[in-house]
Structure 1
């Protein structure tokens, strides 16, 4: 569902890394195509810092 200014509000839960492929259909609901990505299991130091910063904002 789009807002008056044409943007959409999304609620996402990150369970797995994905690559966005494109839109599959728009009606009656927007459906997107994605491909799963393998996770290395390693986390870069900057990711940890960004996550901590984000959690303080929520």
Structure 2
């Protein structure tokens, strides 16, 4: 029979891992959202610049 601390330990580590994964997942999700936003802003900027260049070339 193992001492009681050995029986509780796996449970604690499993809960710790779950919390860690949850926090990690949320962080990753947040980063992905920010990246998407940055991409969108970046592409809009590019399109905007291209339009300006086209206008200048027309004149």
TM-score calculated relative to the size of structure 2: 0.25
Structure with the bigger percentage of strand: 1
Larger Rg over CA atoms? 2
Per the normalisation by structure 1, the TM-score is 0.25
**Would you tell me which structure has more helix in proportion to its own residues?**
2
